[in-house]
Amino acid sequence: FESDKKIFISQYSSGTEEEGTPTPRGSPAQLSICAVQNYGSGAVFSIDENLSDNLRNRSFIQVFIDEYDEDKEIKLGRYTDDEILYEDATKYVNEFKMMPGTNGSGVYFLVELVQYGDYVLDSEMPFTANLYTLTGNASIISQAVINPKLTDASDIYKPLVTVDDMCMNKISGTVCDKPDDDSKRSNLTTPVFDMTNYSRIIDPIVSGETQCSDWKLIVKNEDEPAVADILFRDCVGNDTLVHFAYIPPSIKITPTYYDFGSILMSNQESHIFTLTNLANTDFLLNKAYFENGGSDFEVIGNIEDTLIPPDGIYEFEISFTAKEKGSFIDSVSVGNDCYLKHFAIVEASVGEPIIQAYDLNFGNIEVSRTASKTAIIFNTGLSDLIITDWELIGDDEFTPVFDRNISNNNPLIVKPKDKYTFKIECLPTLIQEYAASITFTSNAVIEDSIIFINANGIESGLIVSNYDYGRKRINRVDYPIQPYAIENEFDGIRLYNIGKNNILIENIEIFNGLNDEAFEFNRNQLRNLTLGSKKEYVLPIHFNPKDTGDYVLEYYYILEGETKPNAKTLLLGSGIVPKIKYQAVDFDTVLQSNNYITKEIVIKNLSANEWKWADSLRIYDFEAEDPSSISFNPLFFGTENYSIDLSAIDMSKPIPPGATVTLSVHFMPYREGLNQAYLNIISDAFNQDLPPLKLTAYVRSNDVVFAGGSANVCEDQTSIIIGHIENNTLETIDFLPIILETQSSIGDFILLNEELLSDFTLEANQTKEVQIEYTANTYSSQSVVLSLLDKNDYYNRTAVFYGYADRVGRNLTISPIKQSVLPGKKYACSINLDAGVDIDEYDVRELFMTIHYSPNMLLIRQSYISLGAALKGDYDFVIEEMNTSDGYIKIRFYTINETNLNESGELLNIDFLALLDNTDSKESEIIIELEDANGTCVKFDESIAILESTNYCASAFRDIIISDEYNSINSIFPNPVKHTAELDISLMFDSNLELNLVSLDGSTIAQPLFKGELIAGDHKVTCDFTQIPNISNGIYFIEMKTVSGIVYKKIMILR
């Protein structure tokens, strides 16, 4: 401070929690600067009798004498009946200190005043003085004022206080000193607040200069009482005391949570809620508010201006109307204009039941032995699935075993997203294949209501087991582990002779392997091994993956006297290890203050969609590169002014894939300039070579703020990132053009504000929006730094704009991934979508699939392609492009009932016809690519399978004869059918075609549904089932007859 007169500066700590001040323990409280109001050799002041005992419990006069002379007196006088009684002021000194003076020694002393009243401080020595009052939690400093009754002052008017008509929990008003005549008015000085559970906001008051000031009181906790006494004062001792009291309402709503359950579309449900007034005063109810603002929930009736007496009860009704499918949750707040609070949560779900019945394959079962498997029925819809009946059609060797009766009077109810399991037993009596189906009758709208069952009866012989180790942590040098012991019931691969004669295992023959060295066992144990009748042998096998990836080992058992091996063992496993991801934390440019700022550090253990080999993560510790730069004690800050509270994370628990850990990092902007620190995360993640997590903040001492922003964008798409420039000063500021200082990838960021590329101006208190166009060209985080220069001081301010590319992944697989083929034969492949992250929100309803293969080895026709279980009933497809010369097919899938793709399982079934290859190539890669036609964030990994041509001789081609195998019914839509259905068929030759409807026992129900001559190729034929008299609901077959043979396709009629 500079002045042509002597001034005195006083600094104090309020010791209280003010609006906007830091709240953690140990943080400094608000600091204020006050200038002394009187300077000279005499001062008259007053301790106001209107101050409460709490505020008047200890009052002091604080005196500073610059040129102290111990021979001169300093006297303290108190007015009694208009007479002044003087005493030596030093008699009442609480504290006396010598201090450097201008021309020698100065002094400072403190005098306690125990009574209210009017005082005079007088001395031959010039001094400065402050009067202040000390309480248990506050100190109030004021000037030494002159009481008007002791002077000739003309200001005898108290400050005028006006209060707005507001709620008692939010009070505002204005105080103005009187009179309006500037020559007579002394103006306001600092008011005195005595409050409980109120916080205050008041416009700045410059003592002796401010006439009017706006003020506001806000209740901190609306559920607790609040009291406030305010003493508004002017500079000559006139004062006005105001008092406010807030009594909190006390209401209760029951229930506090209500679930309307599953509701069908267009239906409405309602429930009565009860409000009870627990307070001793009336409660006014005139508002009900839903947090999410949706129209699905609503209050029925009019609740405006309802007065509820003490202990009174008021009932109101909330309804939910099912307008669209989905899950809905909202919170209900009730009250009035002054008091509106959340009291209850309501929830509902809308949709239709969807039945998903999974097929069962028992595989090989020894004749006369009973096998059992678990069947599953899923309700993947959003309302209750009600099953009222079931029917078994097919071989009697299958027996369903339910744990209850199912009928119209006793229906089976499966809740949304729930499942029902039961057993199916199979007892084969002959060496043959068995098949049957179980059909369920339910209220499902979208159905896969049939469980198809298959089994194969076999004779006695060698039975061997398989094992899938699943996903196991790899053996690393940094984190060594022992090889995994096998975990199945017998602690190894089990070989069992169920026949009557001995079996000699001569050796094993590996025919499929991928990284198979991870399966560790003694293969010599299986050379010339004799296995007696009804005996078993257990082969211990350990799994020891050392790298991430899939592991496969498949081998045959070579038996004595066997011309072709049949028994085989399949071992599977995957090597996994966690990877983490985190991003730098940038506080941008902040103003220097005593209020800390908080941002989040988010550490993510990558999910299987982001890192295929994901595993649980363990975090062991956090370390600052400079140990003093970051404090891990929440009560303190490091040298770079950062503090991190580690209590939010439990390091003893693993973090599952896809989960995140969030830590709060506090930054206290004490020090002007760059504040930077680096944090190391100690974990068992695979990518420990990641750079340390960077904490950055730049502190500015003035009131110009330049802040950046961030955006999450789908890969290859564009979004706008919004930042801003704030001029919080009282002056207009001129700026130079904004500069794009650095960016991680040129062309990803574009400044859209053309006016900011040249000189520009911001008025006082003006804010300017900064728009950056960001294009996510790669799947990685990117940033750009913008530089802003003030024309006056050329101070460089920077703001960082971050772009994050989003990608949601699902894995695509072909099964089998490798198989041997013989020219002239057809080989089946299925294309499957693995389970993974939920992609329903991305509205994937149309997809393109491309298939590449070797045309010299393989042939595909449209009739060879059919929808898999995951798409049947919800999707259809068309062939967009098909080039058999280049080995290329492009297929477009599209929804037929507005269903988003989110299921896992079989998408497509494809048959490949193996050709005689005249080249040297002996194998063909089949490459499958899938993409969302609408370009959302969902990405699908491509999948590759291999068909390997086996050795052959010329006679092997005698069976390559064009037959009925090439004529096919590709699809029936819709299926089940009510009236008409469209059949998609393929013909190899020009044919006379006849379509008939056949029952399960083979008898013809109606013929012909269609009869006529069609040329070779693909056709769509419409069949009308309404012309068939007296037909009942059930399963039938469409019989397609041509000169080359008969083809059947299953159909369900449901009227």
**Cα–Cα nearest to 1017, from 949, 955, 950, 970:** 970
End-to-end, the C-alpha distance of the chain in Å comes to: 94
Secondary structure percentages of the chain, helix, strand, coil, to 5 = 5, 55, 40
Look over the chain and give the mean of its residue pLDDT values, rounded to a whole number. 79
Alpha helices in 231-311 (DSSP H): none
Answer yes or no: is pLDDT of 16 > 60: no
* Tens digits of residue pLDDT in 966-976: 678 888 888 88
Examine the pLDDT at 146 and tell me if it is beyond 80. no
Q: Is the overall model pTM greater than 0.85, yes or no?
A: no
**Least confident window among 250-254, 405-409, 637-641, 960-964:** 960-964
Question: 160-246 has which fold?
Answer: Immunoglobulin-like (2.60.40)
Q: What is the pLDDT of residues 340-356, one digit of tens each?
A: 777 788 888 887 888 88
3-state secondary structure of 47: strand
- Which fold, 808-957? Immunoglobulin-like (2.60.40)
pLDDT value, residue 792: 67
CA-nearest of 393, 464, 397, 462 to 432 is: 397
CA atoms within 13 A on the CB side of 349: 13
pLDDT, mean of residues 280-305: 80
Q: How far apart are CA 495 and CA 462, in angstroms?
A: 7
**Most confident of the following: 12-16, 797-801, 817-821, 1047-1051:** 1047-1051
List 326's β-bridge partners, or say none.
350
pLDDT given for residue 1 in this prediction: 47
Query: Residue 423, Cβ neighbours under 10 Å: how many?
Result: 13
What count of residues does the chain have? 1055
Phi (first) and psi of residue 754, to 5 degrees:
-65, -30
Beta-ladder partners of 550: 574
More confident residue, 411 or 119: 411
Of the pLDDT bands very low, low, confident and very high (cuts 50, 70, 90), residue 459 is low
Q: How far is Cα 1039 from Cα 1012, in angstroms, rounded to an integer?
A: 14
Give the mean model confidence (pLDDT) for residues 616-641.
91
pLDDT band (50, 70, 90) for residue 301 = confident
Q: Which two tokens stand for residue 682?
A: 């100690």
Q: Is residue 157's pLDDT more than 90?
A: no
Query: What single-letter DSSP state applies at residue 74?
Result: E
What lies within 8 Å, CB to CB, of 632 at 6+ separation is 622, 643, 644, 645, 646
Q: In the structure, what pLDDT confidence band is assigned to residue 917 with cuts at 50, 70 and 90?
A: low
Contacts of 634 (CB under 8 A, 6+ apart): 24, 643, 645, 647, 666
pLDDT, one tens digit per residue, over 483-494 is 766 665 557 888
pLDDT tens, residue by residue, 780-825: 667 888 888 877 655 677 888 888 777 667 778 888 887 777 776 7
Distance, CA of 716 to CA of 806 (rounded, Å): 10
- 897 near 818, Cβ under 8 Å? no
Task: Quote the Cα angle for 922-924-926, to 5°.
Answer: 165
What percent of the chain shows pLDDT beyond 70? 82
Burial class (CB in 10 A: 0-12, 13-18, 19+), 941: middle
Q: Are 105 and 70 in contact (CB under 8 A)?
A: no
- Pairing type for strands 212-219 and 239-246 reads unpaired
In the chain, CATH 2.60.40.10 sits at 251-350, 355-456, 466-576, 580-700, 705-794
Q: Are strands 385-394 and 412-414 parallel, antiparallel or unpaired?
A: antiparallel
CB 352 within 8 A of CB 382: yes
The answer to which of 395-404, 626-635, 776-785, 959-968 has the lowest mean pLDDT is: 959-968
Residue 960's pLDDT is: 37
53 band by pLDDT with thresholds 50, 70 and 90: low
Lowest mean pLDDT among 28-42, 166-180, 584-598: 28-42
Q: How far apart are CA 129 and CA 208, in angstroms?
A: 17
What is the percent of the chain with per-residue pLDDT over 90, rounded to a whole number? 14
- Choose between 36 and 717: higher pLDDT: 717
Which pLDDT score, from 0 to 100, does residue 953 have? 46
Q: How far apart are the C-alpha atoms of 709 and 721, rounded to whole Å?
A: 6
CATH 3.40.980.10 fits 251-350, yes or no: no
Max CA separation in the chain (angstroms): 139
Q: What is the mean pLDDT of residues 645-649?
A: 85
Quick: pLDDT tens for 985-1014. 988 777 788 899 988 777 888 778 888 888
Q: Would you state the structure tokens that stand for residue 143, as one six-digit string? A: 């000037």
Give the C-alpha separation, 414 to 387, whole Å: 8
**What integer pLDDT is reported at residue 406 of this predicted model?**
92
Angle (CA) 872 874 876, round 5°: 75
Please tell me the distance from the alpha carbon of residue 1019 to that of residue 526, in angstroms, as a whole number: 55
Query: What fold, for 705-794?
Result: Immunoglobulin-like (2.60.40)
Alpha-carbon separation of residue 1043 from 857, 965, 967 (angstroms): 29, 12, 11
- Tell me the three state secondary structure of residue 526: helix
pLDDT at 400: 94
Q: Distance of CA 520 to CAs 464, 539, 540, 543, Å?
A: 18, 11, 9, 6
> Could you confirm whether domain 466-576 is CATH 2.40.30.40?
no
What values do phi and psi take at 70, rounded to 5?
-70, -10
Strands 257-263 and 340-350: parallel
Residue 965 has pLDDT above 50, yes or no: no
The CATH class of 355-456 is mainly beta
pLDDT at 652: 84
pLDDT for the residue numbered 39: 35
| Closest by Cα among 291, 294, 304, 298 to 345 | 291
Burial of 340 (C-beta count, 10 Å sphere; 0-12/13-18/19+):
middle
- CATH class in words for 968-1053: mainly beta
Q: What is the mean pLDDT of residues 92-103?
A: 70
Mean pLDDT, residues 972-983: 87
The residue type at 233: R
Q: Is residue 179 pLDDT above 80, yes or no?
A: yes
Assign residue 934 a region (left: φ > 0; alpha: ψ between -120 and 50; beta: otherwise). alpha
**What DSSP line would sit under 705-726, residue for residue?**
EEE--EEEEETT-EEEEEEEEE
Per-residue model confidence (pLDDT) at position 1044: 66
d(CA 54, CA 932): 72
Could you tell me which residue, 13 or 722, shows the higher pLDDT?
722
pLDDT of 422 over the 90 cut: yes
In the CATH scheme, what is the homologous superfamily, with its name and number, of domain 580-700?
A: Immunoglobulins (2.60.40.10)
**Is the per-residue pLDDT at 161 higher than 90?**
yes
Residue 144 pLDDT exceeds 50: no
Half-sphere exposure in the Cβ direction for 60 (13 Å, CA): 17
DSSP 417-484: T-EEEEEEEE---SSSEEEEEEEEEES-SEEE-EEEEEEEEE-S-EEE--EEEEEEE---SSS--PPB
Lowest average pLDDT, out of 85-89, 251-255, 681-685, 842-846, goes to 842-846
- What would the pLDDT profile of 662-695 be if each residue is shown by its tens digit? 899 999 887 878 899 999 998 888 876 788 999 9
pLDDT value, residue 804: 75
Please list the residues that pair with 857 across neighbouring strands: none
User: What's the confidence (pLDDT) of residue 102?
Assistant: 60
Residue pair 963/866 in contact (Cβ under 8 Å)? The answer is: no
Segment 698-725, tens digit of pLDDT: 887 656 788 888 887 777 778 899 999 9
Query: In this model, does residue 145 exceed pLDDT 60?
Result: no
Q: What is the DSSP letter of 1002?
A: S
Q: Is 833 a residue whose pLDDT tops 60?
A: yes
Tell me if 897 sits within 8 A of 858, measured CB to CB: no
